[in-house]
Structure 1
């Protein structure tokens, strides 16, 4: 699965109608709604603001809206592009200004799908990987031991506290999870302890 970190836009005309696509990151329905409201206030005179989103890489949720266009002719083709590109935590809004010529249902499906596709093709898509989160505690002299673990198991530090001992919150790719846990379990004699925190995505 993939996601994005910034907004991408597309624009084209089809038989007089103008279609403007906006692809942006959104990690919640509230975040998506804020972006949608912003676009509606930016283009208050547009004929339609059709959209789709996909959220939550663990158990993807998705939704779409035709915003007054014939059923299935706008929101669904936008959503299908999001699924085709395997992206999550994103939303796309396609703003349409009607140009006086009806496109028909098949024409609308093509136009809204194209607007979404153009955005996605121009976007820098970033892979999301499932991880297991761990908390590691260790004394300062074992910094090199922990650095070796970081390299060997592709650990990424999510949070750190340097007090009497060091406490790290790390994300371990799921593919390395079991081997990492097995190795760190054998380091208690060095006063290195750990606990599992749950699963996530980075």
Structure 2
């Protein structure tokens, strides 16, 4: 599978801008239908709101993109929201920003900043992950060897998974496929050729990322 970035979890963020209440709700999705159902659900929950604008991107390559201004002036809500998602490189995500009008008009520029800023704020608060497939290695070590294994992990920036302590220690590493050969060579050098390593199945993991600095526009 190709790695891609998406939202960490379903969540929401609220903001008050010139007395208008903006509620941004975010959900990870796998299809356009799922995204539309989420948008409909939000509109029903906030049927008294003035607008519930939306944007979604779907597919590992972000091939499906949709946005809606939901009654706001054309180009002031849905597209700015979608642009935030694009700049972050996100996919398989839908965002809905619900606005309760507070009596003060924001103007086109103010609306763009408000809707884009609501999405950027939600992404920062909720978190972004990279979903990727990693190749597994099973490493068998003697107990004396295992005492120095932490030094190897630190030098490689790796973490072990599910060590099993029996007659010997069998532990596991998961890393990018491109790094497998180099890691095998480094392990062999570290233990002077006296180490047993086997490739095992791959594993899909989620790695926490820090959102890029995002302009409200």
TM-score (norm 1): 0.63
Change (3 A) 1:181 1:55: farther
Corresponding residue for residue 215 of structure 2: none
| Cα pair distance change 1:179/1:137, threshold 3 Å | closer
Deviations along 1:126-169, one digit per CA (max 9) or x if unpaired, are 67596743221414534335433322211134x52637665544
**Structure 1, gaps ≥5 residues long:** none
Indicate how the Cα distance of structure 1 residues 193 and 49 shifts in structure 2: closer, same or farther if over 3 A, else same. same
Q: CA deviation at 1:20?
A: 1.6
Give the 3 Å change call, closer, same or farther, for CA 86–10 of structure 1 in structure 2: farther
Q: Distance in 2 between matches of 1:193 and 1:112?
A: 51
Unaligned runs of 5+ in 2: 208-217
Residues 181, 34 of structure 1: CA spacing in aligned structure 2 closer, same or farther, 3 A cutoff? Answer: farther
1:39 corresponds, among 39, 42, 53, to 42
Structure 1: distance between partners of 2:82 and 2:70: 16
1:115 offset after TM fit, Å?
A: 2.7
Name which of 77, 81, 84 aligns with 2:84.
81
Aligned pairs, how many?
197
Equivalent position SS for 1:156: coil
- Between the aligned partners of 1:41 and 1:167, the Cα distance in structure 2 is 53
Alpha-carbon RMSD across the aligned residues, in angstroms, is 4.5
